[in-house]
Chain A
């Protein structure tokens, strides 16, 4: 028995319409379109206005320029490579300190611990050291207050002050001529895990580039 002749595409559409036209009256079409619109509105966040998409551009900032990263407004001043910070951080064999001084302001309305500042600035430094003086991927980072040489703890809102962040590098590597630092931004929102409000969603927002002055 010969196979039936294959139907052309326009002819298939006509056949489909003939089948559907009995059920697709204008009212049913309105209901279907309305359901589709409601579905799409729900999928794209309901009736709330869409939040502006955050810029993903990573800009390069230099000494003296200001960058906003989460709660922090940071203006880097100078970077130094040095063996110690006096009695605050004594010299240790095989260890070099890379210190970046900067003006930091907490622009939020809540106190924020300096631990978040440490996580905000990530240098591109080879062979960073941990607290035991060993090369580590979980390196030691200190932050000190210039006003009284104490270790920074919680930083209150609207109090611009000079801070020094210190990274520890093995002297087996040459000191960098330029300190390159990724600056991470944060969003203050409710955690989906425990409902508490925290600075979350780390995103690199800027790249900081500061020449390093070597001190002996």
Chain B
């Protein structure tokens, strides 16, 4: 009788330890729940998400970007994205672009030279030019992301992901630019 009770205790403790170990191997449930819904596309392709449609028409690099009021230089490189943004259902700003390098480094957010695509009325396509400052070694294989909302780095919401398909050679060429790009203000697309 005593041996059976001792065996039972050992089995219970072993089962608890095994369950805890198996649980530690499983993916974090919160991380899975927070995963974004990624809508993939390439340059020239119209990609839809919850808040609207994005069409990236051109991606270039520059050493200097200017607006009517500002002039921004960089120790890295400016990535300048030409795009058309059409908001659906309600007036919505376009967040991004965020450039995500192959190693996970992410660039974007408020830049020292401001260019926005923010005042967009419902179903009125707007042409915008947006600039983001990135490190030169982040370009090869990088993708551009446009989240449906700004809520940190983990959002269980739509994200448009545009792959410019930059090879290492493309990246080297893009990084060595010495050009200046004057950023246009957003305008309604005809």
State the A residues within 8 Å of B (CB).
26-27, 30-31, 34, 38, 46-48, 109-111, 113, 145, 147-148, 150-154, 156-161, 195-198
Contacts and interface: CB of A to CB of B under 8 A. Distances in A.
Nearest to B71: A148
Most A Cβ at <10 Å: residue of B21, B103, B108, B110: B110
A24 to B, nearest CB: 14
Contact of A152 (B20, B73, B103, B112): B112
B74 A147 contact: yes
A156 to B, nearest CB: 4
A153 B111 contact: yes
A153 B74 contact: no
B138 A154 contact: no
A113 B109 CA distance: 8
B9 interface: yes
A30 B9 contact: yes
A47 B76 contact: no
B109 A111 contact: yes
B152 A196 contact: yes
Interface stretch (B82-90, B129-137, B169-177): B129-137
A158 B153 contact: no
B9 A34 contact: yes
Contact of B151 (A31, A111, A113, A196): A196
B75 interface: yes
B11 interface: no
Given A27-B2, A47-B17, 16 more contacts: A30-B6, A30-B9, A47-B24, A109-B103, A111-B98, A111-B106, A113-B109, A148-B71, A153-B110, A153-B114, A156-B107, A156-B108, A157-B105, A159-B135, A195-B30, A197-B153
The 4 closest A-B pairs by CB, nearest first: A154-B109, A148-B73, A156-B107, A150-B112
A41 B109 CA distance: 43
A135 B137 CA distance: 45
Interface residues of B, number: 40
Contact of A110 (B16, B112, B153): B153
7 contacts: A27-B2, A111-B98, A148-B71, A151-B112, A156-B107, A157-B106, A159-B75
Nearest to B16: A38
A158 B74 CA distance: 13
Nearest to A111: B109
Most B Cβ at <10 Å: residue of A30, A38, A111: A111
A158 B134 CA distance: 9
Contacts of B38: none
Interface in B1-21: 2, 5-6, 9, 13, 16-17, 20-21
A38 B114 CA distance: 56
Given A27-B2, A153-B111, A157-B107, A46 B72 contact: no
B154 interface: yes
Nearest to A28: B5
Contacts of A113: 109-110
Most A Cβ at <10 Å: residue of B71, B107, B151: B107
Contacts of B106: 109-111, 157
B104 interface: yes
B190 interface: no
Given A27-B5, A47-B20, A198 B71 contact: no
Nearest to A162: B75
A145 B105 contact: no
Interface in B96-147: 98, 103-114, 133-135, 137-138
Interface in B28-78: 30, 70-76
A154 B108 contact: yes
